């Protein structure tokens, strides 16, 4: 089993850049497609603990559709909203050994990560 996991959706430009970066650097990773394998509540809770905040993409079109429901909910409710609307999760999320290494993609930041 691969140690590095990359979570996201395949048609996202930022995810495409992240995958290309990993491929170009010879990193063996597993891609988890939110569209085929929706994140669980437990996974989103773990990401929230690692990041110190819920990994929500407030700039995306999906978030605009769920903004009122999301913002009017408790943290548990917000996590439920993200389970149902995985496209609103900030992406990509890069993990190693069940710990978040990065969220989003900036090549300069990723070049500092020990993969």
Q: CA angle at residue 90 from 89 to 96, to 5 degrees?
A: 100
Backbone angles phi, psi at 94, to 5 degrees: -105, 125
Q: Single out the catalytic residue among 12, 22, 88, 89.
A: 12
Residue 78 falls in the annotated catalytic set: no
- Cα separation of the two ends of the chain: 15
Query: Is residue 12 within 8 Å of residue 32, measured between CB atoms?
Result: no
Q: Which residues form the catalytic set?
A: 12
């Amino acid at each position: 089993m691969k140690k590095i996991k990359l979570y996201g959706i395949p048609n996202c430009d930022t995810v495409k850049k992240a995958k290309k970066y990993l491929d170009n650097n010879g990193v063996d990773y597993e891609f988890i497609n939110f569209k085929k394998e929706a994140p669980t509540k437990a996974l989103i809770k773990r990401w929230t603990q690692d990041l110190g905040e819920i990994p929500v993409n407030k700039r995306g079109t999906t978030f605009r559709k769920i903004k009122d429901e999301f913002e009017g909910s408790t943290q548990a409710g917000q996590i439920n909203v993200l389970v149902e609307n995985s496209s609103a999760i900030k992406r990509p999320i890069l993990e190693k050994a069940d710990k978040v290494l990065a969220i989003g993609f900036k090549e300069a930041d990723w070049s500092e990560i020990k993969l």
